Structure 1
Amino acid sequence: MTASTEFDLTIPGISCASCAGRVERALATLPGVSDINVNPVTRRAHLRADGVTLPQIGAALADAGYPAQLATTRLQIEGMSCASCSGRVERALTGRPDVTEAVVNLVASSASVTHAPGVAAGDLARTVTEIGYPAHPITPDTAPDMQGDGHEARDLRRAFLLSLVLTLPVFIAEMGGHMLPGFHHWMIGLIGKGPLWVGEMLLTAAVLAGPGSRFFLTGFPALLRGAPEMNSLVALGSGAAFLFSTVVTLAPDIVPAPSRQVYFEAAAVIVTLILMGRWMEARAKGRAGQAIRSLIELVPDHATALRDGQPVQVPVAELRTGDLVHLAPGERVAVDGVVTEGHGHIDESMLTGEPIPARKQPDDPVTGGTINGSAALTYRVTATGADTALSRIVAMVEAAQSSKLPVQALVDRITRVFVPVVMALAVLTLALWLAFGPGLAEAVVASVAVLIIACPCAMGLAVPVSIMVGTGRGAEMGVLFRRGEALQRLARAQSVAFDKTGTLTIGRPQLTGIWTDGLSQDQALRLAASAEARSEHPLGAAIVSAAQHQGLDLPAAEKVDAAAGRGLTAQVEGQSLLIGNRAALEEAGIVLSAGLAESAEAAAAQGATPVHLAIDGRHAASFALADPERPESAATIAALHDLGLRCVMLSGDTQATAQAVGRRLGIDDIQGGLRPDDKLRAIRNLGDETVFVGDGINDAPALAAAGTGIAIGTGTDIAIESADAVLMSGDPSGVVRAIRLSRAVMRNIHQNLFWAFAYNAALIPVAMGALVPFGGPQLSPMLGAAAMALSSVFVVGNALRLRRAH
């Protein structure tokens, strides 16, 4: 590249002049980089590059510890029909010096481009349009038409039906004699061979110039640019058959007498069958994207906002944060919010996969797209537009569907040279048949069959269509893949490591046992809860919650005094209370009851935390508080064992507590007392084939470092951002669903790739005539067209089976 390019990059890691100096020195090491200016205040670097690309600049900055902040643009692209097309678009985009990465999704007809911040989206679209594929940027205001697949299918259906009507007379005229003996001779006797061939020529020309023109308008320009693709093969094959037949019809003396045969029916049938295949493919691709369309359609068009206390129907797009919205029974929640009035249940299964409706009361969150139960509610809007949970889910699914799996790399390398190789084989076939075959006509038929039988369409669809259906099915099951490559890594997993608190357990302590001496359990709980009502300790909150759940009245406590590590003292109804651990009571000179102490120690051995209550200096009760396991945890571990996976627990809790919980759940390896950096080391020791499941801020490093990180959707935003996949509900059994789905997707991809490659490996030699010397048949171009069309339909249809995955 001779022209220099100017870059203006944002580098967030710059915090001082010293940082700026290091960035300058890192950039100066690149030959061809000049005019470097790094501003530590704005954290921007300006430079001129001659022969140096953005990926090289980005690598130098990353190596220096100051990665650049890049931009991402999505493009909608028309006219891509095969892997060769998508490969050409990728190469055109990555050929720009200001682009680091371009990922093209053939199924979604889109591209995700990572580039320098100063690059205009229109320039990127122009780069793609100039190579023959009209493109335009996708922005929040110009989202892709969700009915696009339907429009494409309808256009292809009309083209196919028109082509079919024009082709049938040609096909019957030429092939009718194979079904009814004497029919062909009767036709020639009735019309004459010359007029019959002229009629076939005119009808075939109408097919090629009308519904078949799309192949020529796209295929020949690509061929002239030296970048042939699938349309080029169809245009060459059908065009060669038509031209040869036209010469035989209009100037027969040019062609040797034994080869004076016409193949108008082959040219017309080729176009008709391929149009039929693309129509069926477009319909199937439309079903492949149904999951994401279903998510978008969850949002209603209108909502009932309260304006000056009066209900008013308004478009959902007009809702703003802070608005109050009335939610009628059975109505869908329009946007995210918090309940302000009413009690009821909301069905969140379409987002979380949880079949049981969630109970809602004031201060509880509601999510746009979910369905209200039988009670009227009012909620305050907390997020609208792209900030809602549903919009983020859709964006997450789209990002996963647009990503490229490592297995795609091999496919890309093959498809890059596939079409030129097929064309070379067609020329070789023509030469061999002319040299050793019976005549020119057979040579033309064999070379046309080679051009038509080859199908990079199936190769290009094999991986992305499975990803699209698989990630969409995952969203329906409450499993969101934030990165598509997680599908491939998850399928190879050998072990699953869990955080304990909030992942395998509820995440908050609950009262699990009460033992008393001289008073009832309700009396002990009532007194303890009264004293703890003003405490902020989570164990105290668990005692208060248990008392409230039982409907106990709590008298006011006086002289409440909490000392860290020494318990809490208070006066309730004239009685002096001390609540704390064993050491707190012993320090106060209180003799512990042997029976109560024994019960508390037994609970502690099972992972519970004992809390003792003394009344007027006498040990009167003991409580066991524990973070109970989620009801689904044990079944989840058993299901993972059935899948052949080893289960590990990495907990920040004490080893004794972690051991007690792990034993009950059947976990293979239990490690307690771990800090975040300890968890990180443990994950690295477990290897790249490890899945880590967590929910808290302290889990973020381990989630990022694991082969695959899965965040519990009820956890923190930091954990979710660090993960490769997210379980929308708090149910850990979603891990089992995620692994089963990933294995199903990879099986499906391998089946598709086997079919796509085996099909070509088997049929291209047959089309070349490899069986003819052994008495076998020569493959008809029409049969080749049918097989090629059906190969793509097979691949997409096979991927659609993932919609039934569970």
Structure 2
Amino acid sequence: MAPETTPRSLVTTDLVVGGMTCAACVRRVEKKLSALEGVTATVNLATGRARVQYPADLGTAPLVEAVEKAGYSATIPELRSGRDHMEEDGQRGRTLPQRLVVTALLAVPVMVISMAPSLQFRNWQWLCFALTAPVASWGAFPFHQRALRGLRHGAATMDTLVSLGVLASFSWSAYALFLGGAGEPDTRMPFTLLPTGSPGVAHVYLEAAVGVPLFVLLGRHLEARARRATTAALRSLAELGVKEVTVREGGAERRVPAEQLAVGQVFVVRPGERVATDGVVIEGASAVDLSLVTGETRPVEVSPGSAVTGGSVNAGGLLLVRAAAVGAETQLARITWLVTEAQAGKARAQRLADTVAGVFVPVVLTLAVTVLGFWLGAGADAQPAVTACVAVLVVACPCALGLATPTALMAATGRGAQLGVLVNGPQALESLRQIDTVVLDKTGTLTSGHLGVARMTVREDGLAGDEALRLAAAVESGSEHPLGRAIVAHARRVLGPEAVRSDALTDFAATPGSGVRGRIDGTLVEVRAPNGELPAALDAALTASLDAAHTPVVVHVEGRAEAVVALGDVVRPGSYHAVDRLRRLGVRPVLATGDQEAPARAVASALGIDEVHACCTPERKAALVRELREKGLRVAVVGDGVNDAAALAGADLGIAMGTGTDVAIGAADVTLVRDDIEALADAVRLARRTLATIRGNLLWAFGYNAVTLPLAMVGLLNPMLAAAAMSLSSVLVVLNSLRLRRWQPAPAPARRSRSPRGAVTLAPSGSNGS
């Protein structure tokens, strides 16, 4: 019998890889890391990081050694704040402009004089040569250095092409000046876009020798700035963390570093301050702004017992908060981690691009040598042959291939996080774009998951809806019954906190199983279970509420029935618009719930969902997903509870509500941080826009090389213009990706005006309908 082998436990870490400049570098680092036994690696050019999964007994030293053998630097990143990383980015950003500025000051005069014969004075070429020498050596030193490092490790990258192009242009110009007759004092050199030979006098290409490093440095500077902009959302999340917090202990306050805050400690949040960590309000009332954390645009009212999220801004009064989670367990930390994880992955299209880029540079070098040999073999002068060869070296650009997907993905995931949509990697983004059926849970997803006012109907010849609601809430303010608290909460949301006056209540009495009664400014008001005959409109409302499995109560004023209030699990405010938008996007909604048939049908009818599956067990939900997928449908499941976890994991795409359980969130590919199902439609539109942007980037990256390389090979492209075109291609790809940062979701529809009398249709909790 063969001996049993124990599986090696795997761990995952990130490596900060230095020296990568193009997709060919990415491919080489991935190959070196993956060559280690049991190691898989994904390298991201835009972030400069490698996500490595490796056996725990291997350690990180072999990983770093493998990257260094490939010709690059590698370090294990320390756990630092986002602010530290931004300062580091800024320092890296200042190094390049210094070299760029000096290169530009030296290169621009050379380019102007060389391209304008009227400005060419006696011995102009020697002045230009003196200005070109430091550019070709010091200005292009980073390219020469990385090219030499790659040569030592048997690798060729974009830097190899740039270095060879600069050295070839400068060497040919030096030959022309010293040995080719171009060094005569009165020599004039016309500028031409095409490589041509001059009888008796070799042409100098000093403008190419300075233009190539200048344009490449400028392009990489612009590219680096644009790439940093794609991570702006992630950096803004890091900045939301609070450095110091005021802790209250024994009536005394003291300032402590935020990382020292422990679960259970009470801390103070003054107006305008950020909440230090997730917690529960124990004293005070205010409104908190969650826009930067969850994308929720409206401030949320909080009071004792309300949960608050770390990073949100206290917009009102003083709050005392008991810490419920700290460090990596907070919602802000989880959001940051999910966005970082998403940006580390690769889409299928990018893997193809990286594979192509891995062989691209050797192919270009082969083409350059072939072009040189062909021109010389065809009897052409050495000058146009070398020019065509240099143009081929310089114009080739695998950089755009390496940036096409990661920059778009970084911009999209960052924008999604700002809008309350967390996508777990590019594979989830691709699946999100392709879904055509979405299975929706009811409780906690389409509905609020707690008791609220689902509908209120007033009689035609009675009180106005606002007045009936005000009186009912005033008398219920003396009750502790859940039905009463739901009516009071609804009235405060609809009419405002000041409309519910508990001080006007007298003679209050509660009868268990029946209801409450009392006088409001002397007016007798009763809210009780239905008993006796009702007017036609109220009787119809009573029947409708019972059919929908809601709990109805009747509001009596001075003994006369004025309104019927139906209480139950209310539909979320955004569910109507979300379902409608999904249908418009070509996604068919299906309702699957463990609730009874009547309430499930009522919610489906209100939202316009045709297919309903009620009384679903977790196993039945998972079976339903399998059945839909077997029909060839691309299925997404949206849920928030433990009972949804199996269906979430079995779908093409699992989507969890951020307010749901950790089990549901762990099984999902997408998390909607906002307590709003409407974010799902935003996520689908953002995914489709992102994948369209990636396709456009890749089309440009491949198309650019398909057009410019043949032009360079046949001698129709000047090396200097080739360098400008090469740099521009990468910048355009990044700028196209940055458009995703300005992507906006569809505006919410205008709310319908509410009639003050008569039956009021099903109104979500928090809407303006009463």
Task: Decide which of 734, 737, 742 is 1:804's aligned counterpart.
Answer: 742
For residues 309 and 265 of structure 1, the distance between their equivalents in structure 2, rounded to whole angstroms, comes to 74
Task: Decide which of 349, 354, 357 is 2:291's aligned counterpart.
Answer: 349
Over 3 Å counting, the alpha-carbon distance change for 1:488 and 1:513 in structure 2 is: closer
2:36 corresponds to 1:131: no
Task: Decide which of 113, 116, 133 is 1:176's aligned counterpart.
Answer: 116
Q: 2:369 aligns to what?
A: 427
| 1:327/1:377 contact within 8 Å kept | yes
Give the AA of the match of 2:157.
E
For residues 513 and 289 of structure 1, the distance between their equivalents in structure 2, rounded to whole angstroms, comes to 45
Give the AA of the match of 1:90.
E
For residues 92 and 553 of structure 1, the distance between their equivalents in structure 2, rounded to whole angstroms, comes to 81
2:682 corresponds to 1:742: no
Give the AA of the match of 1:732.
I
For residues 616 and 635 of structure 2, the distance between their equivalents in structure 1, rounded to whole angstroms, comes to 18
Q: 2:122 aligns to what?
A: 187
Matches within 5 A, 1:277-296: 277-296=219-238
Over 3 Å counting, the alpha-carbon distance change for 1:340 and 1:598 in structure 2 is: closer
For residues 625 and 156 of structure 2, the distance between their equivalents in structure 1, rounded to whole angstroms, comes to 47
| 2:27/2:355 contact within 8 Å kept | no
- Cα distance per residue 1:597-633 (max 9 Å; x no partner): 97644323345356999xxxxxxx9974421211211
| Percent identity over paired residues | 38
- Cα distance per residue 1:113-158 (max 9 Å; x no partner): 1111223234322321232211111242587722343333321111
| 1:302/1:315 contact within 8 Å kept | yes
Task: Decide which of 58, 69, 79 is 1:119's aligned counterpart.
Answer: 58
Over 3 Å counting, the alpha-carbon distance change for 1:449 and 1:547 in structure 2 is: closer
| 2:451/2:486 contact within 8 Å kept | no
- Cα distance per residue 1:468-517 (max 9 Å; x no partner): 0000001111111123321111111212221111111111233556999x
Q: 2:711 aligns to what?
A: 766
For residues 515 and 154 of structure 1, the distance between their equivalents in structure 2, rounded to whole angstroms, comes to 67
For residues 280 and 598 of structure 1, the distance between their equivalents in structure 2, rounded to whole angstroms, comes to 67
SS of corresponding position for 2:449 = coil
For residues 470 and 355 of structure 1, the distance between their equivalents in structure 2, rounded to whole angstroms, comes to 19
| 2:69/2:153 contact within 8 Å kept | no
- Cα distance per residue 1:613-659 (max 9 Å; x no partner): 9xxxxxxx997442121121111111112222211111112233222
Over 3 Å counting, the alpha-carbon distance change for 1:637 and 1:457 in structure 2 is: same
Q: 2:99 aligns to what?
A: 159
Q: 2:544 aligns to what?
A: 602
SS of corresponding position for 1:119 = coil
For residues 93 and 476 of structure 2, the distance between their equivalents in structure 1, rounded to whole angstroms, comes to 66
For the aligned residue pairs, the C-alpha RMSD in angstroms reads 3.6
Give the AA of the match of 2:62.
D
Over 3 Å counting, the alpha-carbon distance change for 1:286 and 1:682 in structure 2 is: same
| 1:98/1:119 contact within 8 Å kept | no
Task: Decide which of 792, 796, 802 is 2:730's aligned counterpart.
Answer: 792
Over 3 Å counting, the alpha-carbon distance change for 1:388 and 1:491 in structure 2 is: same
Give the AA of the match of 1:704.
A
Over 3 Å counting, the alpha-carbon distance change for 1:259 and 1:648 in structure 2 is: farther
Task: Decide which of 299, 314, 324 is 1:382's aligned counterpart.
Answer: 324
2:171 corresponds to 1:243: yes
Unaligned runs of 5+ in 2: 183-196, 492-499, 519-527, 556-562, 745-770
Q: 2:660 aligns to what?
A: 715
Q: 1:82 aligns to what?
A: 22
For residues 421 and 142 of structure 1, the distance between their equivalents in structure 2, rounded to whole angstroms, comes to 42
Q: 2:649 aligns to what?
A: 704
Give the AA of the match of 2:223.
E
Q: 1:402 aligns to what?
A: 344
Q: 1:671 aligns to what?
A: 613
User: CA offset at residue 246 of structure 1?
Assistant: 2.4
SS of corresponding position for 1:644 = coil
Q: 2:696 aligns to what?
A: 751
For residues 220 and 459 of structure 1, the distance between their equivalents in structure 2, rounded to whole angstroms, comes to 23
| 2:346/2:425 contact within 8 Å kept | no
- Cα distance per residue 1:515-560 (max 9 Å; x no partner): 99xxx999x999x999996xxxxxx7335543787757998989x8
For residues 479 and 99 of structure 2, the distance between their equivalents in structure 1, rounded to whole angstroms, comes to 76
| 1:607/1:661 contact within 8 Å kept | no
Q: 1:439 aligns to what?
A: 381
| 1:500/1:649 contact within 8 Å kept | yes
Give the AA of the match of 2:97.
R
Q: 2:578 aligns to what?
A: 636
User: CA offset at residue 682 of structure 1?
Assistant: 1.6
SS of corresponding position for 1:628 = strand
For residues 281 and 648 of structure 2, the distance between their equivalents in structure 1, rounded to whole angstroms, comes to 32
| 2:180/2:201 contact within 8 Å kept | no
- Cα distance per residue 1:286-339 (max 9 Å; x no partner): 111111111111223322222442222333233233332111111111222221
SS of corresponding position for 2:242 = coil
Matches within 5 A, 1:330-345: 330-345=272-287
Over 3 Å counting, the alpha-carbon distance change for 1:734 and 1:593 in structure 2 is: closer
For residues 513 and 783 of structure 1, the distance between their equivalents in structure 2, rounded to whole angstroms, comes to 70
Over 3 Å counting, the alpha-carbon distance change for 1:512 and 1:273 in structure 2 is: closer
SS of corresponding position for 1:227 = coil
Q: Return 497-506 or 382-391, whichever deviates more.
A: 382-391
Matches within 5 A, 1:435-474: 435-436=377-378, 438-474=380-416
Give the AA of the match of 2:100.
F
For residues 175 and 29 of structure 2, the distance between their equivalents in structure 1, rounded to whole angstroms, comes to 37
User: CA offset at residue 209 of structure 1?
Assistant: 2.2
For residues 160 and 477 of structure 1, the distance between their equivalents in structure 2, rounded to whole angstroms, comes to 37
Q: Return 408-417 or 396-405, whichever deviates more.
A: 408-417
2:439 corresponds to 1:504: no
Q: Return 249-258 or 378-387, whichever deviates more.
A: 249-258
Give the AA of the match of 2:728.
L
Q: 2:487 aligns to what?
A: 546
User: CA offset at residue 781 of structure 1?
Assistant: 0.5
- Cα distance per residue 1:39-59 (max 9 Å; x no partner): xxxxxx3xxxxxxxxxxx6xx
For residues 406 and 440 of structure 1, the distance between their equivalents in structure 2, rounded to whole angstroms, comes to 44
For residues 596 and 227 of structure 2, the distance between their equivalents in structure 1, rounded to whole angstroms, comes to 52
For residues 512 and 791 of structure 1, the distance between their equivalents in structure 2, rounded to whole angstroms, comes to 56
User: CA offset at residue 273 of structure 1?
Assistant: 0.7
User: CA offset at residue 749 of structure 1?
Assistant: 0.6
Q: Return 439-448 or 503-512, whichever deviates more.
A: 503-512
User: CA offset at residue 275 of structure 1?
Assistant: 0.3
Higher RCO (CA 8 Å, separation ≥ 6 residues): 2
SS of corresponding position for 1:220 = helix
Over 3 Å counting, the alpha-carbon distance change for 1:531 and 1:299 in structure 2 is: closer
| 1:462/1:756 contact within 8 Å kept | yes
| 1:680/1:702 contact within 8 Å kept | yes
2:152 corresponds to 1:227: no
Unaligned runs of 5+ in 1: 1-24, 29-33, 38-44, 46-56, 58-67, 534-539, 561-567, 574-578, 582-589, 614-620, 773-777
Give the AA of the match of 1:632.
G
For residues 307 and 742 of structure 1, the distance between their equivalents in structure 2, rounded to whole angstroms, comes to 48
Corresponding pairs, count = 691
User: CA offset at residue 93 of structure 1?
Assistant: 1.0
Give the AA of the match of 1:133.
Y
User: CA offset at residue 571 of structure 1?
Assistant: 13
Q: 2:560 aligns to what?
A: none
For residues 275 and 151 of structure 1, the distance between their equivalents in structure 2, rounded to whole angstroms, comes to 17
Matches within 5 A, 1:621-660: 624-660=566-602
Task: Decide which of 427, 433, 438 is 1:491's aligned counterpart.
Answer: 433
For residues 262 and 779 of structure 1, the distance between their equivalents in structure 2, rounded to whole angstroms, comes to 16
For residues 539 and 108 of structure 2, the distance between their equivalents in structure 1, rounded to whole angstroms, comes to 93
| 1:531/1:572 contact within 8 Å kept | no
2:217 corresponds to 1:217: no
